[in-house]
A and B are shown apart, each in its own frame.
Chain A
Amino acid sequence: MSELDCRRLLCPMPVIRVQDEVAKLENGDTLTAVCTDPGVLNDIPAWCRINGHEILSTEEVDDEYRITIKVVKDGA
């Protein structure tokens, strides 16, 4: 599982970082984005729904949001 530091970034930058990171990953890989902008609670799941990826978990710890995504690629 890889972790992506999106702390202090405001939306849509965390979404862009996730998008660019997911592009490098394989089907079935997981990625955890660690964010501080509460906007990600809506935006990253929306981006995942649009692009067919799966949200495995969302946690809020000490004002940080940890969103774990399972990568689903076309043709898998």
Chain B
Amino acid sequence: MTDNSTRKAVALISGGLDSLLAVKALQEQGIYVEGINFYTGFCVEGHTHAIRKKDKQKPKRNNALWSAEQLGIKLHIIDIIEEYKDVVFNPRYGYGANLNPCLDCKIFMVKKARQWMEANGFDFIITGEVVGQRPKSQRKDTMPVVQKDSGINDLLLRPLCAKNLPPTIPEKAGWVDREKLYDFSGRNRKPQIALAKKFGFEDFAQPAGGCCFLTDEKYSVKLSDLWKSRGEKTYEIDDIMLLKVGRHIRPAEHFKIIIAREEGEAKYLQGYKKQYDSLKTISHSGPLALIDGNLTNKELKLAASIVARYSKGRTDPQVSLDFQTKSGEVTSIKVSPLPADEIKPEWIL
């Protein structure tokens, strides 16, 4: 083995157990590691903290930061929201079960990490990938695609499954002892749990639904609907944040109502009242709703009757609401709440 004290690796840190273990495995061999965490806008990690009041009782932490702290490494969180759009809109290798472009995503992130590595004088990249594990980018036939298309080639080391893959430059050059790396494969998590125990890690994150909203079916339906209504694949950060909040009801192609489901969401939607027209029940307690689209008076009445349906006045003959335009003008509206059976199932996203 050569002296590793000058070898530096940059690790893709998701905040999950695998990247935590991959870094630790390299630190055990004397490699200096810093972490990169990419923020796409779709990261579950980012959205989970603030919105729903019921979630406020849960411990709030960013698992990538937590991992970095456990490992004693620097973490660079990089905003890739704008650049990432092209990955979402035009995935060369297509989508997974939902709107998740997993293979293109991994290629993009490794490519970005390679650029960071080159700019900052690091030697190679590590990831916590395990061959045969979900998602699609971790299949034995797709792993080489990530290396080739990202341009990193043999400077990408996957410590947890390295023994199942051809040797990389860090192994061949003796920067890393291949024999001390691992041969994990498949979806069985027991080897990772055992290694975590060996390394003394407790309370690590194991997100059941993955770390990206694009893998979520309901979220993908709302994003598809957004694109369809706009006639093109497009989004801004506020759009993708709002897809996570409230009931989304689209009574017509050209408008959608976003109705808060509880106090935390109402508070969050409140921050968007200068960007969207809004409705709020005043005669009864009820939700705040944002309106995405331009409505005729008749459509506004329909929207108000739908919002009234979700208020405490749902069984009363009449409910009053304030309609506020994004420029701040307020008008009062009185409507009969729409009966539940008149809210068409296809309206609900």
Interface residues of A (CB under 8 A from B): 7-8, 10-13, 15-16, 19, 36-39, 41-43, 46-47, 49-51, 63
Interface residues of B (CB under 8 A from A): 37, 39, 43, 45-47, 49-51, 56, 59-62, 64-66, 68-69, 73-79, 241, 267, 271
Return A16 CB to nearest CB of chain B, in Å. 5
Q: Is the CB of B271 within 8 A of A15?
A: no
Q: Which residues of A contact B56 (CB under 8 A)?
A: 38
Return A64 CB to nearest CB of chain B, in Å. 12
Question: Can you list 27 contacts pairing A with B, beta carbon distance less than 8 Å?
Answer: A8-B271, A10-B46, A10-B47, A10-B49, A12-B37, A12-B39, A12-B65, A12-B77, A13-B39, A15-B77, A16-B39, A16-B77, A36-B50, A36-B271, A37-B50, A38-B56, A39-B50, A39-B60, A39-B62, A42-B60, A42-B62, A43-B65, A46-B69, A47-B77, A49-B69, A50-B69, A63-B267
* Overall SS of chain B's interface: mixed
Q: Which residues of A contact B271 (CB under 8 A)?
A: 7-8, 36
Q: Is the CB of B49 within 8 A of A13?
A: no
A50–B74 CA distance with the chains assembled, in angstroms? 6
Chain A residue with the shortest CB-CB distance to B62: A43
Q: Is the CB of A10 within 8 A of B75?
A: no
Q: Which residues of A contact B267 (CB under 8 A)?
A: 63
Closest 8 A-B residue pairs measured CB to CB? A39-B49, A37-B50, A46-B65, A39-B60, A43-B62, A8-B271, A42-B61, A16-B79
Return B193 CB to nearest CB of chain A, in Å. 24
Chain B residue with the shortest CB-CB distance to A49: B69
Chain B residue with the shortest CB-CB distance to A39: B49
Chain A residue with the shortest CB-CB distance to B35: A50
* Overall SS of chain A's interface: helix
A38-B60, A50-B74, A51-B74 known; A13+B65 contact, CB < 8 A: no
Q: Is the CB of B62 within 8 A of A11?
A: yes
Q: Is the CB of B66 within 8 A of A46?
A: yes
A45–B47 CA distance with the chains assembled, in angstroms? 19
Query: Which of B43, B45, B50, B62 lies in contact with A46, CB distance below 8 A?
Result: B62
Return B177 CB to nearest CB of chain A, in Å. 28
Q: Which residues of B contact A51 (CB under 8 A)?
A: 74
Q: Which residues of A contact B61 (CB under 8 A)?
A: 39, 42-43, 46
Q: Is the CB of A15 within 8 A of B79?
A: no
A15–B15 CA distance with the chains assembled, in angstroms? 15
Chain A residue with the shortest CB-CB distance to B78: A16
Chain B residue with the shortest CB-CB distance to A43: B62
Return A60 CB to nearest CB of chain B, in Å. 13
A47–B56 CA distance with the chains assembled, in angstroms? 21
A36–B49 CA distance with the chains assembled, in angstroms? 11
A15–B75 CA distance with the chains assembled, in angstroms? 11
Q: Is the CB of B75 within 8 A of A50?
A: yes
A12-B39, A13-B79, A50-B75 known; A38+B69 contact, CB < 8 A: no
In addition to A12-B43, A42-B61, 17 A-B residue pairs with Cβ atoms within 8 Å of each other are A11-B46, A12-B39, A12-B46, A12-B62, A12-B64, A13-B79, A16-B39, A16-B78, A37-B50, A38-B50, A39-B61, A41-B60, A42-B59, A43-B60, A43-B61, A46-B61, A50-B65
